[in-house]
Structure 1
Amino acid sequence: MPAPTLDVHAGGQEYLLPPDFLWPGGKRIAVFFRVACEGWSDGAWPSLGPMGNPLKPGVPDLNALGWVEYGMRRGIHRILDILEQHDIRSTMIICGVLAERYPEVVRRIADAGHEIVAHSYGMDVIPAYLDEEQERANLARTTALFEKATGRRPQGWISPRATPSPRTARMLAEAGYEWHGDTMNDDLPYLVRFGDREIAAFPGGMELNDTPMYIRYGNSPRMMVEMFDDWLDYVRTREKGAVRIDPSIHAHVFGRITGIHVFEQLIEKAKAADDIWIGTRQEAIAHVRAAIRR
């Protein structure tokens, strides 16, 4: 049997945005504020923790588990308060296990108008490791948990590590998802058709992400503000078409006091600019579909 095609959209047909595409309101620049709420299955724990030195294989890392648990106990509430104060709707990337363990918190997120994006059942349930039957079961289980907690099915999906299997995009389209973020292969969204099914691909990036920047590489939280300023300066003076950036924080990382002030500074800068559109990915996808189909 031949090896499967190593492509996130194997078997699909891609449709790109027109060169003159602009974001809602005729804006050329879009900023999507993203918040990740991560959880692990029972008996699993993060491979990356705040201490930096992993324990021996198979030994439960309660230090790392407690560090992550902070996100739903404290961090997310601090983040939600900041977003409410600034009247910003965020794209919230959440593991299904958290809808199971903290349904009232997930309900608060949804009721506040934030977009909920399914992030697999847990960070340890990575589609690339699953066979087709396991992946279908994980997709169904995760979707059902959010529907139970919020009364609504999520429309977007991002796998842990943004690492899908070659089947994931097609399976998401078949399950009725509107978009996925399991690729970093472009600056802008595009549509992919699998036969009579369609899904939007919304490429992501790690440019402004607290975990690699702060935890893995040990930079000051302030660097996120510097990078945002540098990016804005470049796209305003050099880029000609539509651009976007996704300042991303984790509830257990910059949901802490040492990081939340940076996230708020980015919000204030984006709100103060008259050439920036701020929205959720779901809001953007509706606009993208209309632009591609005109």
Structure 2
Amino acid sequence: MTSSVDSQRRLVRTGYRWHGDALDRDLPYRQIFPEGEILAIPMSVEFNDLPHAMRFGRTPGQFVELFVEAVGGIKTQPPETIILDVFAHGHCYGRPAAAWAIDRIASLCAGDDSLWTTTRSRIAEHCLSQMKAAA
């Protein structure tokens, strides 16, 4: 999440259609350069195990509680598209003593039909097809 405009322009020149290296907006958007355009799919950083555990000293259980609380709060708001990323670093919650928390969050998401549990590639496919249809 620290690429430069030059990096993004190189991605366009080599044929990439999207990247996930943006923090400057909430929803996907087109970046237009002289070489062409690319879809930027921003990352959200609210659910990042590294600062959660190492900076703030919170437990894996608190990570799950924070996620459940946030999703519950979001559902009380007017409906809109929101991207929630859950970061699990191999050296943090990717370890056996905490990996259960990530598994629990994934299970909660998979069991909730109001959530679209997906990948950046599928988000890109969806956005690009919507943009093409609107053109």
Determine if the TM-score, normalized by the shorter chain, exceeds 0.5: yes
Say which SS state the counterpart of residue 278 (structure 1) adopts. Answer: coil
Alpha-carbon offset, residue 178 of structure 1: 2.4
2:113 matched to which residue of 1? 274
Take 1:277 and 1:190, find their aligned partners in 2: how far apart are those partners?
Answer: 19
Q: Could you tell me how far 1:210 is from its partner in structure 2?
A: 0.8
4+ residue segments displaced more than 2 Å? none
* Matched residue, 1:242: 81
State the distance in 2 between where 1:239 and 1:196 align. Answer: 38
- Post-superposition Cα deviations, 1:92-123, rounded to whole Å, max 9, x if no partner, equal xxxxxxxxxxxxxxxxxxxxxxxxxxxxxxxx
- Find 1:170's aligned residue among 9, 32, 50: 9
Deviations 1:38-66 (A, max 9, x none): xxxxxxxxxxxxxxxxxxxxxxxxxxxxx
| Cα distance in 1, alignment partners of residues 105 and 44 from structure 2 | 17
Residue 198 (str. 1) matches residue 76 (str. 2): no
Indicate the percent of aligned positions where both proteins have the same amino acid. Answer: 30
Which structure 2 segments of 5+ residues have no match? none
Which of 208, 214, 217 lines up with 2:47 in the alignment? 208
1:184 equivalent in structure 2? 23
Aligned counterpart in structure 2 of residue 254 of structure 1, from 93, 97, 104: 93
What's the CA shift for 1:165? 2.4
Matched, 1:290 2:129: yes
* Matched positions, count: 133
Q: Is the 8 A contact 1:191 1:289 kept in 2?
A: no
Q: 1:227 to 1:243 in 2, by over 3 A?
A: same
SS of equivalent residue, structure 1 residue 239: coil
Offset of residue 196 of structure 1? 4.7
SS, match of residue 30 in structure 2: strand
Name the larger-Rg structure: 1
1:229-272 deviation per Cα after TM superposition (whole angstroms, max 9, x unaligned): 12211221113211120111012211211210000100110111
Contact 1:221 1:262 in 2 (8 A): yes
Give the direction of change, closer, same or farther, for the CA distance of 1:197–1:166 in structure 2 (3 Å limit): closer
Q: Give per-residue Cα distances to partners, 1:144-181, cap 9 Å, x unaligned.
A: xxxxxxxxxxxxxxxxxx11223121111112222222
Distance (whole Å) between structure 1 residues aligned to residue 40 and residue 123 of structure 2:
12
State the TM-score, normalizing by the size of structure 1: 0.43
- What does residue 65 of structure 2 align with? 226
What TM-score does the superposition give when structure 2 sets the normalisation length?
Answer: 0.89
